[in-house]
Amino acid sequence: MDINQITIENADNKDFNRQENMLSASLLSIIVPCYNEKDVLPLFLEAIRPVRAELQSKGCATELLFIDDGSNDGTLGLLREYSTLGENIRYVSFSKNFGKEAAILAGLKNAKGNFCVLLDADLQHPPGLLPKMYDEMINGGFDSVAMYRNDRKKEGFFRRHFSSFFFKLLNRLSKLNLVNGATDFRMMTRTMVDAVLSLPELNRFSKGIFSWVGFNTKWMPFETGERPAGKSKWSFGKLVSYSFDAFLSFSEAPLKLCSWLGIIFCIVSFILGIYHLIKTLIFGDPVAGFPTLYLMMLLMGGIVLLFLGIMGQYLARIYIEIKKRPAYIIKETEKQE
Ligand code: UDP
Ligand code: MG
Q: Domain-by-domain residue ranges, the chain?
A: 3-231+328-336, 253-323
Residue 238 pLDDT > 90, yes or no? Answer: no
Q: Indicate which residue's Cα is closest to atom 12 of ligand 1.
A: 120
Mean residue pLDDT of the chain comes to 84
For ligand 1, whether the C-beta of 230 sits within 6 Å is no
Q: What is the identity of the amino acid at 213? A: V
139 Cβ contact partners less than 8 Å away, ≥ 6 residues apart: none
Instruction: State what percent of residues in the chain have pLDDT above 90.
Output: 41
Select the more confidently predicted residue: 328 or 312: 328
Q: Is the CB of 101 under 6 A from ligand 1?
A: no
Q: What ligand has the least distance to the C-alpha of 120?
A: 1
Nearest protein Cα to ligand 1, atom 8: 99
Nearest ligand 1 atom, CA 232:
20
Q: Answer with the residue of higher pLDDT: 42 or 254.
A: 42
Q: Which residue has the higher pLDDT, 280 or 45?
A: 45
Q: What mean pLDDT do residues 193-207 have?
A: 89
Considering the entire predicted model, what is its pTM? 0.76
Residues 6+ apart with CB under 8 A from 182: 146, 148, 167, 207
Ligand 1 neighbour 35 (Cβ under 6 A)? yes
Among 12-21, 24-33, 80-89, 207-216, the minimum mean pLDDT is found in: 12-21
Question: Is ligand 1 within 6 A of the CB of residue 208?
Answer: no
Gap between the Cα atoms of 5 and 61, Å rounded: 10
* Cα–chain center distance at 42: 25
Of 34 and 275, the one with more pLDDT: 34
Question: Among candidates 139, 88, 145, which has minimal Cα distance to 113?
Answer: 88
- Measured CA to CA in angstroms, residue 244 lies from 175, 203, 204, 237, 249 at distances of 16, 11, 12, 11, 8
pLDDT score at 14: 42
**Any alpha helices (H) in 174-225, and if so which ranges?**
190-197, 206-212
pLDDT of residue 46: 93
Q: What is the pLDDT of residue 2?
A: 44
pLDDT computed for residue 15 by the predictor = 42
CA 69 – ligand 1 centroid, Å: 9
Find all residues with CB under 8 Å of 283, minimum gap 6, and list them. none
Query: So what's the architecture of 3-231+328-336 in CATH?
Result: Alpha-Beta Complex (3.90)
Identify which of 10-24, 86-100, 147-161, 175-189 has the greatest average pLDDT: 86-100
Does 153 score more than 70 pLDDT? no
Side-chain half-sphere CA neighbours of 38 within 13 A: 11
Alpha helices (H) along the chain:
14-17, 41-57, 75-83, 100-110, 130-140, 157-173, 190-197, 206-212, 236-250, 253-283, 290-323
Judged by its nearest atom, the ligand closest to the C-alpha of residue 105 is: 1
CA 14 to ligand 2 center in whole angstroms? 33
The answer, yes or no, to whether residue 19 has pLDDT greater than 50, is: no
Q: Which atom of ligand 1 is nearest to the CA of 231?
A: 20
Amino acid 5: pLDDT: 43
CA 12 vs CA 109, 112, 208: distances in Å: 13, 7, 30
Nearest CA to ligand 1 atom 21: 232
pLDDT at res. 177: 81
